[in-house]
Structure 1
């Protein structure tokens, strides 16, 4: 089940998965809207039943100096990176608990960032939202682990994604381009492969924290 805002992009991806022999459900949902998330969860359950794996991957990155005072950008990052993740957790965690109680594996995977604990100039608010997600993952383990629900926090380094397209500061955008040229960033498939490995472990094994970097990134 694929959840995101843009229905056209989701449909295109679902069609590609189907063409490759898989199965996918495209569900348009706005993670900043609680009702939209709840409706999406019901649509997923109607199609597939109880959910046993959640990957919280939605995010927005809007780097600028804090002194610019772009409160609207701060709110967008908080609404998506933190509150959006919480809305997904609220909508699906009961399913994860039920799956674990039935003897199956149950996984919550949160995609944070190396920026959660490695500071970068002008990325203070973005890094703060990811630090919040990293801490949330750590704390949730104390609640969900005793119920046999695994919580994994993944912190990628430089990764090819649409995040770079969010940057409207020409200087910072140029810096990112230079980093990709120098470091050879990860691809989405690299992160997906790590998630697949992590969630395929025996149910009593929780790989709780994974930092994945391009080899050239210190």
Structure 2
């Protein structure tokens, strides 16, 4: 079994109510990890936790907003109270809100910055002592950040989204210089098209249609297929760090 060394680990997954975050949480739990599910939608989190438990896994739904310091701090307390320190953090929460810069949608710019960049910083910082402690005890410790190929590929009307994902990619590389010497692995994953709710967040009918047409032209990975990439990465021997992965549908170039 390729992921057998996930058993007994304690994982925190943000954005766990749907899409990539949900798929990662379900897969990790299916291979023996205790998984704390962090997201804003309580009802949806409960459904995901129930699905995991029905399959014999362990899941803790934690309503949390990664854009809010107090909410993240409360989530850490809840995770510690139920599961103890975490040794695996997957930052999968994200929003994609495309508009031309000339539209000056400052509300959307701020939401993407707060979620896609500052949210990763908040959650990583909040669990950093756990991760360093796990590594010091000789256990495997991981940070996995879900970025996007939008970090380095140019898409019209996606300037701010692309900038936030470029920040996540750069942040991941710099974090590795801080955590790697302390035996905490940092992995940056840049997916191409993935079946998720991101497109549903787009409120511009034309832009949503364009994304759908591009996705239909090349196909999209399922969230479960990308979760498989994450699970493979964090199940490698602790001395092996797959630091940067670009995962694309075969037809996407």
TM-score (normalizing by structure 1): 0.99
Per-residue CA deviation, residues 131-187 of structure 1 (Å, 9 max, x unaligned), is: 000000000111100000000000000111111011111111111111222111011
Aligned counterparts of 1:114 and 1:177: Cα–Cα separation in 2 = 17
Q: Report the counterpart of residue 7 of structure 1 in structure 2.
A: 42
- May I ask how many residue pairs the two structures share in their alignment? 218
Aligned counterparts of 2:186 and 2:56: Cα–Cα separation in 1 = 29
Does the alignment pair 1:174 with 2:198? no
Q: Report the counterpart of residue 53 of structure 1 in structure 2.
A: 88
Q: Report the counterpart of residue 39 of structure 1 in structure 2.
A: 74
- What is the aligned counterpart of 1:81 among 99, 116, 128? 116
Does the alignment pair 1:162 with 2:194? no
Does the alignment pair 1:192 with 2:227? yes
Alpha-carbon shift at residue 52 of structure 1 (Å): 0.3
Does the alignment pair 1:19 with 2:24? no
Q: Report the counterpart of residue 139 of structure 1 in structure 2.
A: 174
Q: Report the counterpart of residue 155 of structure 2 in structure 1.
A: 120
Q: Report the counterpart of residue 129 of structure 1 in structure 2.
A: 164
Q: Report the counterpart of residue 19 of structure 2 in structure 1.
A: none
Alpha-carbon shift at residue 210 of structure 1 (Å): 0.3
Q: Unaligned regions of 5+ residues in structure 1, if any?
A: none
Aligned counterparts of 1:177 and 1:152: Cα–Cα separation in 2 = 28
Q: Report the counterpart of residue 149 of structure 1 in structure 2.
A: 184
Aligned counterparts of 1:86 and 1:187: Cα–Cα separation in 2 = 27
Aligned counterparts of 1:11 and 1:141: Cα–Cα separation in 2 = 33
Runs of at least 4 residues off by over 3 Å: none
Aligned counterparts of 2:216 and 2:168: Cα–Cα separation in 1 = 28
Q: Report the counterpart of residue 205 of structure 1 in structure 2.
A: 240
RMSD over aligned CA atoms reads 0.6
Does the alignment pair 1:63 with 2:120? no
TM-score (normalizing by structure 2): 0.85
